Structure 1
């Protein structure tokens, strides 16, 4: 049985190397968007045989649509080729960030936006049907698992990076791919 059959979202893991880097990202955070744009270039630079890269979705309450968007990403992950569709959804949110975020976290044009309108907006950008998988129990379970994993590792803000199982504050979203690669050792 595949993850599509159960509604369980695919894990957001790329590469298969012995060194593991994990990124905890909130999809509308500008620092997370900047970091996310460097993840695949980092993997290409270091090599999939040397690095395992995993993304954990880390909802933040001050980003008021965060939970809905995290759920939407996990809904995409429950589709066939879910990992890549989730990545496509992360990128779409980042590319159109202002349409998924409140101004100053509490006001602006999105004040009248409903969850259904957000989902429809995201479906337009991704060209994916997210409404049906959005409601799956497996998506709820995955949201809880992402939150639990972050809490178990003391992750409170995003982006946060764990290298080989330990939080590593040396990684910053403003650094280059080459600077990140140098930190890997």
Structure 2
């Protein structure tokens, strides 16, 4: 059950507590963002939670047609018990079943007939989480707007984009290995 609007807590999507801060700006249905997302647990393990703080930032992009609905589902999950892990479960579910949330060539295909409620139900089915009530809390909009503003204030326009200690590093790519990421992060 979602918290009342006046007590809504959206768990930060943060893992680790080290001094080196790695922020990944991800769009949940972007194949390159999904590839980067799947590497984050390995990065945390390789670097160690005492050396790195990993922050997921959600970068909704309009050409991914259900991006706004899916981002809201992820943040709704972050309001549930085990918030950040519930949000990660939603991101994992969406990434593992991208074809159910994306359009052919960003403009066609079976999802043309899907509604936001269809998308929420699909995410619930794949993640095992009940999200509809949390999704419907109006105060969740504040967290969504924060994600957008933070990206824009930092000059982030596409996903995935990566920041190290508050600076964008355009040399980091989702196609890099975790070892290559670590070499850039800890350079």
Give the match's secondary structure for 2:21.
strand
Residue 4 of structure 1: how far off its partner (Å): 5.1
- Please state if 1:31 is matched with 2:6: no
Structure 1: any 5+ residue segments left out of the alignment? Answer: none
- The TM-score normalised by the length of structure 1 is 0.96
Residue 9 of structure 1: how far off its partner (Å): 1.2
- The TM-score normalised by the length of structure 2 is 0.95
Instruction: Specify the alignment match of 1:115 in structure 2.
Output: 116
Instruction: Specify the alignment match of 1:104 in structure 2.
Output: 105
Instruction: Give me the whole-angstrom Cα distance separating, in 2, the residues matched to 1:122 and 1:7.
Output: 21
Instruction: Give me the whole-angstrom Cα distance separating, in 2, the residues matched to 1:156 and 1:116.
Output: 27
Equivalent pair of 2:75/2:140 in contact (CA under 8 Å): yes
Residue 137 of structure 1: how far off its partner (Å): 2.6
Give RMSD over aligned pairs.
1.1
Aligned residues: 183
Instruction: Specify the alignment match of 1:135 in structure 2.
Output: 136
Equivalent pair of 1:8/1:138 in contact (CA under 8 Å): no
> Which stretches of structure 1, 4 residues or longer, exceed 4 Å deviation after superposition?
none
Deviation larger for 4-13 or 36-45: 4-13
Residues 8-47 of structure 1 correspond to what in structure 2 (within 5 A)? 8-47=9-48
Structure 2: any 5+ residue segments left out of the alignment? Answer: none
Instruction: Specify the alignment match of 1:150 in structure 2.
Output: 151
